[in-house]
Amino acid sequence: MPYCYFIFLLHFLQCNGQTSSDSIIKITVPQVIAHAGKSAVIYVYVVVKEGYHIQANKVDDEFIIPTTLDINADKIIITGKQVFPAGKKFKLEGTSDYLFVYDGKFKITIPFKAREKIQRGIYTLDAKLHYQACDDKTCFFPKTIDFSIVVKVI
């Protein structure tokens, strides 16, 4: 039974949300349902290709590009503080310092409040994930991946 539920959930997320990807990152955002004037949460699911990692949101070195998320939503919602997971310690070959990174799968949580006077309907918010990917030996140039967040106001 749990396996069937997982397949159903995976199908639901893909059909009622948005998925974007590039060669290293895949982003999935399920459709968000909100009430005018009420709080809700956006979940951004990120998968990093095996063999790679991306820099965490909080970094200790000013020359490292942190992972950040921008949402263009001023007229529709008011976003709260984004919650990124804690980074994992990682050391590049040939260095003595640790980096804080994300690899595998992780989730970014964004609390928000729908505007009080917003009309019912479906809204698409433009978003961007900025990140710097690395493998075991090399860090690559920073990239930005564009994606959409669908908010249904009821």
The 10s digit of each residue's pLDDT in 135-146 is 988 889 999 999
Name the E strands within 7-76: 17-21, 25-30, 32-34, 39-48, 53-55, 68-72
Residue 66 carries which side chain, given as an amino acid letter?
A: P
CB-based contacts of 6: which residues, under 8 Å, 6+ apart?
none
The domain tally of the chain equals 1
Question: For a pLDDT cut of 90, what percent of the chain falls above it?
Answer: 68
Range of the domain at 123: 2-153
Helix (H, G, I), strand (E, B) or coil at 13: helix
Which portions of the chain are predicted below pLDDT 70?
A: 1-16, 21
Question: pLDDT tens digits, residue range 81-110?
Answer: 999 999 999 887 777 788 899 999 999 999
* CATH code of the domain containing 26: 2.60.40.1250
Q: How far apart are CA 12 and CA 9, in angstroms?
A: 5
